[in-house]
Structure 1
Amino acid sequence: MASAADRMQQSVNFGKFAQATDLKKRLWFTIGALIIFRLLSYVPLPGVDPTALGLLAGKTSGGVLDFFNTFSGGSLKRMSLTALGVMPYITASIVVQLATSLSPQLGAIKKEGESGRKKLNQYTRYGTVLLTAIQGFVIAKGLETIGANNGVQAVVEPGTLFRVAAVVSLIGGTMFLMWLGEQITSRGIGNGVSLIIMAGIVANLPTTIVNLMESGRSGSINPAVILGVVAAVALLVLFICFMERAQRRILIQYPKRQTQRGMQADRSHLPLKLNTAGVIPPIFASSLLLLPLTISQFAGNRVAGESRWGDLIITLNQYLQHGSPVYMTLYGAGIIFFSFFYTAVVFNPEETADNLKRYGGFIPGIRPGKNTETYFDYVLTRITVLGAGYLTIICLVPELVMSSLGVSLALTGTSLLIVVNVTMDTVTQIQSHLLAHQYGDLIKKAKLKGGRLR
């Protein structure tokens, strides 16, 4: 009987989904935009030989470039127009947000509301162009010499013309992805930039699964290890879902008011997520590490043996390789820092306390005003410590376990966290649109019935 009721409920949900035309348009727009992103990842830079580039990628595999390649959906390995992905945009966003906290002038612009937000977005775009130009120039010059050092001519005609064409193409690809992400956010479903990153990660999953199964078949990896990895990934997904839904609910009480049942006090709860910052800390931390590491890796190959600086850069790359103790330490420190920083940006205890005081709300046992602000800050700091610890464990421990077992997977703890978080946020938005559509139908029916009664 219960199964029949469940089937009936599912049919009702599918019926509501079929009637939500606006939601279907948004979903189709999002899918189409992601397909365009994947097609662009196969368009190579002008002047690059794809066949020679494939041979070069096999010789220079490993390290930070493979990690960067995971976030770009394989675009960096193919040196496509979108090789840099949206990482320059994310890095520019970090710089602008840090600047708004440190600079009084930018902080005043942020408080201007919608106009201030547009100005900061424009500064972020300028920063994206600058960072993409720097990274693109270093990658273009490094691509010319890396191929020569490995006996592969990946660039058809090295020189100034190729470098200019590569920089312009990479800037155009990154800016187009940034625009595409903004269009998905406004006209589609979910956060556009996050969906583009998730699409790049998911695109590597089939190859990872095939390689893992092939390793088990050939005997290079024990089948028991493969089963353990699959079980660990499933448990990790459940743990992430549980922690992302964890909340600290603060009781808010409002003054008593007269009702039909007498004097009653209104009560509500202010939910504070355990992980208020979401996937922003690992994305910010990885993008900040990838920016100098990508430049230093290409620059180190270009100037290797030419001077002491070349040897120094190569040594630095060896210490900061993805998975090394120094890299993991810096990555964990970056996650913790951005957890506290972004939580402070998202939730302002002083502003929240003032809003409560303005509308007559208070926390039982806590005086309105400064005491409420101190209480919010105290609770937020405690749950942020737990949230930062949870993010650090999710991002670092799986990679340490994988490296100790000798297993290399594209879906690391960081990637899994991004995929699960973005999926949950997207599903929540879809449910919100369905709920809004359902209430809209109820309001229309009520108006029709009211008109007939009159």
Structure 2
Amino acid sequence: MKEFIQTLKNIWNLKELREKILYTLGMILVYRFASYISLPAINMAQVGSLLEQYQHNGGSKQGAGLLGLLSSFTGGAFSRASIMALGIMPYISASIIVQLMGMAVPYLQKLQKDGESGRNTLNQITRWLTIAVCLVQAPFYLGTITSVFIPYAQFQSAYYVEPTSFMFWFPSVVILVAGSLFAMWLGEKITDKGIGNGISILIMVGILAGFPGAFIQEVSTQTGKGGAGAIMILIEVLLWILVILLAVVLSVAVRKIPIQYVSRAHARGGGNRMSQGARQWIPLKVNAAGVMPIIFAQALMFVPGLLTKLDETNTFLAGFKNVFSWQYNMLFAILIVIFSFFYTAITIPVNQIADDLKRNGGLIPKVRPGKETSDYLDDILSKITLPGAIFLSIFAILPALVRGSIVQTDGFALFFGGTSLLIMVGVVLDTVQQINTYLLNHHYDGLMQSKLSRTPNK
């Protein structure tokens, strides 16, 4: 505890790091404040009570889980009909599209290799594509809240303007697009002037915003009539901590491939001989794809739910609208395993790694440089990706496994694994690593300055 307090003091004493953290916190406050501003045409007070009625409606339980999942990524802005209802997710969708297109479009492939200028152009393309995604998602969102959650025919008091009119749709679409672009701008500013990855931090903040309410609701359910009591709350908290620790292990687990670098030294007579150099490692992550397979799979999982409109009497298809059903989670787990291999294959170029090793005089012991090294790395990567993908899929469907058997409420169950927990763990680890880097650089600079100050003048 004493070392932790000392670390906090070191962070505060380092001016640059302190300013970055305060700047990040300021941007987060702006984002959270904006998420409580409702669309001008909607009565915010009425929307809150109506959505609560909808979520507790016995005939709408299948859609409630899906609504809770969507709302969790925006910190509740989705369910509050906020100007930030779309959140940062359109930017994430645009980034995924650009990344996938980079595999097939030569122009994008060239930009990926052009260094800083290429990245800037790709960022600009992603921003324009974000606007296009928003223009598609905003009308769908407005259509959903006006036809399902707060239909005008039953709840006219929830609207200041009739939702079928041009004066409702045009300003609302413009405001939703602007809100998503504002969230994107906040994320980029955090990345540039703050600490950590701004986009990921905004997603994590949105997820964490719903945690206190979900936990309080779970406590109320367990300690109320028919609940298991306070001892069950303690068991849930201990289990949740264990799941977090396992998620951390999955995020940092690596397979180290030993690399031996050789150097050339001139022997007598002008010849060359090989001498051993430094031994290093290639760290291949067990979960190299991170949370991206879950995000890809999550994006596709909304498609089966839309198919229920073709046949609303089909109970099998209806299960895909419920994030806790066995149909939903079985398909979800299969897609995660598939996307884990797919994303790992496109993000870890084993051929390029093998070529770089050969060019720099590096080799894997007992493996020939070149194609044999590439095949060896590909074989190792395939072997460690399979268990990583399986564990990732288990984490993703864990909320459905604990819902009902251990956890009694939907909101708190979503924090037991799934996209929410893995995003939080990944963002926290990345942010802590950046803070540690600043601290190490600070101590290193101070050590060099003290040595220089003790060096006598010649």
**Quick check: TM above 0.5?**
yes
Post-superposition CA distance 1:330-377 (Å, at most 9, x none): 322332233223322332111111111111000011111111111111
Q: CA deviation at 1:440?
A: 1.4
Instruction: Work out the CA distance in 2 between the residues paired with 1:31 and 1:161.
Output: 36
Post-superposition CA distance 1:22-44 (Å, at most 9, x none): 11111111111111111111000
Post-superposition CA distance 1:96-136 (Å, at most 9, x none): 11111133343233233333322222222222111211111
The answer (yes or no) to whether the contact 2:75–2:206 under 8 Å persists in 1 is yes
Alpha carbons of structure 1 residues 10 and 316: separation in structure 2 relative to 1, 3 Å: closer
**Does the residue aligned with 2:151 lie in a helix, a strand or coil?**
helix
The answer (yes or no) to whether the contact 1:349–1:373 under 8 Å persists in 2 is yes
**Does the residue aligned with 1:84 lie in a helix, a strand or coil?**
coil
The answer (yes or no) to whether the contact 2:260–2:276 under 8 Å persists in 1 is no
- Which of 192, 197, 206 does residue 191 from structure 1 map onto? 197
Counterpart for residue 86 of structure 2 = 84
Instruction: Work out the CA distance in 1 between the residues paired with 2:161 and 2:304.
Output: 26
Counterpart for residue 156 of structure 1 = 160
Instruction: Work out the CA distance in 2 between the residues paired with 1:388 and 1:424.
Output: 20
Kindly provide the amino acid, as one letter, of the partner of residue 352 in structure 1.
I
Counterpart for residue 24 of structure 2 = 30
Structure 2 stretches lacking a partner, 5+ long: 56-63, 267-273
The answer (yes or no) to whether the contact 1:336–1:392 under 8 Å persists in 2 is yes
**Does the residue aligned with 1:60 lie in a helix, a strand or coil?**
helix
TM-score scaled by length of structure 2: 0.87
Counterpart for residue 342 of structure 2 = 341
The answer (yes or no) to whether the contact 1:92–1:128 under 8 Å persists in 2 is yes
The answer (yes or no) to whether the contact 2:78–2:85 under 8 Å persists in 1 is yes
Counterpart for residue 442 of structure 1 = 447
- Residue correspondence of structure 1 range 382-421 to structure 2 within 5 A: 382-405=383-406, 406-408=408-410, 409=412, 410-414=414-418, 415-421=420-426
Q: Does 1:330 align with 2:325?
A: no
Counterpart for residue 249 of structure 2 = 242
The answer (yes or no) to whether the contact 1:243–1:275 under 8 Å persists in 2 is yes
Q: CA deviation at 1:407?
A: 3.4
Kindly provide the amino acid, as one letter, of the partner of residue 422 in structure 1.
V
**Does the residue aligned with 1:355 lie in a helix, a strand or coil?**
helix
Q: CA deviation at 1:404?
A: 4.5
TM-score scaled by length of structure 1: 0.88
The answer (yes or no) to whether the contact 1:45–1:80 under 8 Å persists in 2 is yes
Counterpart for residue 106 of structure 2 = 104
Kindly provide the amino acid, as one letter, of the partner of residue 157 in structure 1.
V
- Residue correspondence of structure 1 range 43-82 to structure 2 within 5 A: 43-61=37-55, 62-82=64-84
Q: Does 1:207 align with 2:213?
A: yes
- Which of 152, 174, 178 does residue 180 from structure 2 map onto? 174
Structure 1 stretches lacking a partner, 5+ long: 1-5, 301-307
Instruction: Work out the CA distance in 2 between the residues paired with 1:230 and 1:15.
Output: 30
Alpha carbons of structure 1 residues 422 and 242: separation in structure 2 relative to 1, 3 Å: same
Instruction: Work out the CA distance in 2 between the residues paired with 1:423 and 1:203.
Output: 15
**Does the residue aligned with 2:103 lie in a helix, a strand or coil?**
helix
Instruction: Work out the CA distance in 2 between the residues paired with 1:182 and 1:139.
Output: 25
Counterpart for residue 304 of structure 1 = none
Instruction: Report the number of matched residues.
Output: 434
Instruction: Work out the CA distance in 2 between the residues paired with 1:120 and 1:316.
Output: 39
Instruction: Work out the CA distance in 2 between the residues paired with 1:148 and 1:359.
Output: 66
Alpha carbons of structure 1 residues 313 and 381: separation in structure 2 relative to 1, 3 Å: same
Post-superposition CA distance 1:397-416 (Å, at most 9, x none): 33222144543214231212
- Which of 139, 142, 145 does residue 141 from structure 2 map onto? 139
Kindly provide the amino acid, as one letter, of the partner of residue 72 in structure 1.
T
Counterpart for residue 380 of structure 1 = 381
Kindly provide the amino acid, as one letter, of the partner of residue 280 in structure 1.
M
Alpha carbons of structure 1 residues 314 and 24: separation in structure 2 relative to 1, 3 Å: farther
Alpha carbons of structure 1 residues 361 and 46: separation in structure 2 relative to 1, 3 Å: same
Instruction: Work out the CA distance in 1 between the residues paired with 2:40 and 2:318.
Output: 28
Counterpart for residue 285 of structure 1 = 297
Counterpart for residue 457 of structure 2 = 453
**Does the residue aligned with 1:63 lie in a helix, a strand or coil?**
helix
Post-superposition CA distance 1:195-221 (Å, at most 9, x none): 111101111111112111111221342
The answer (yes or no) to whether the contact 2:222–2:228 under 8 Å persists in 1 is yes
Instruction: Work out the CA distance in 2 between the residues paired with 1:309 and 1:374.
Output: 47
**Does the residue aligned with 1:123 lie in a helix, a strand or coil?**
helix
Instruction: Work out the CA distance in 2 between the residues paired with 1:346 and 1:324.
Output: 32
The answer (yes or no) to whether the contact 1:133–1:171 under 8 Å persists in 2 is yes
Post-superposition CA distance 1:123-177 (Å, at most 9, x none): 2222211121111112223333332377223322121111111111111111111
What is the percent sequence identity of the aligned residues?
35
Q: Does 1:429 align with 2:434?
A: yes
Instruction: Work out the CA distance in 1 between the residues paired with 2:172 and 2:282.
Output: 50
Instruction: Work out the CA distance in 1 between the residues paired with 2:112 and 2:106.
Output: 10
**Does the residue aligned with 1:148 lie in a helix, a strand or coil?**
coil
Instruction: Work out the CA distance in 1 between the residues paired with 2:51 and 2:399.
Output: 26
Larger CA deviation: 106-115 vs 155-164: 106-115
Instruction: Work out the CA distance in 1 between the residues paired with 2:290 and 2:416.
Output: 17
Larger CA deviation: 116-125 vs 18-27: 116-125
Instruction: Work out the CA distance in 2 between the residues paired with 1:172 and 1:251.
Output: 50
**Does the residue aligned with 1:269 lie in a helix, a strand or coil?**
strand
Post-superposition CA distance 1:30-77 (Å, at most 9, x none): 111111111111000110111221122123221311110011111011
Counterpart for residue 273 of structure 1 = 285
**Does the residue aligned with 2:362 lie in a helix, a strand or coil?**
coil
Alpha carbons of structure 1 residues 396 and 273: separation in structure 2 relative to 1, 3 Å: same
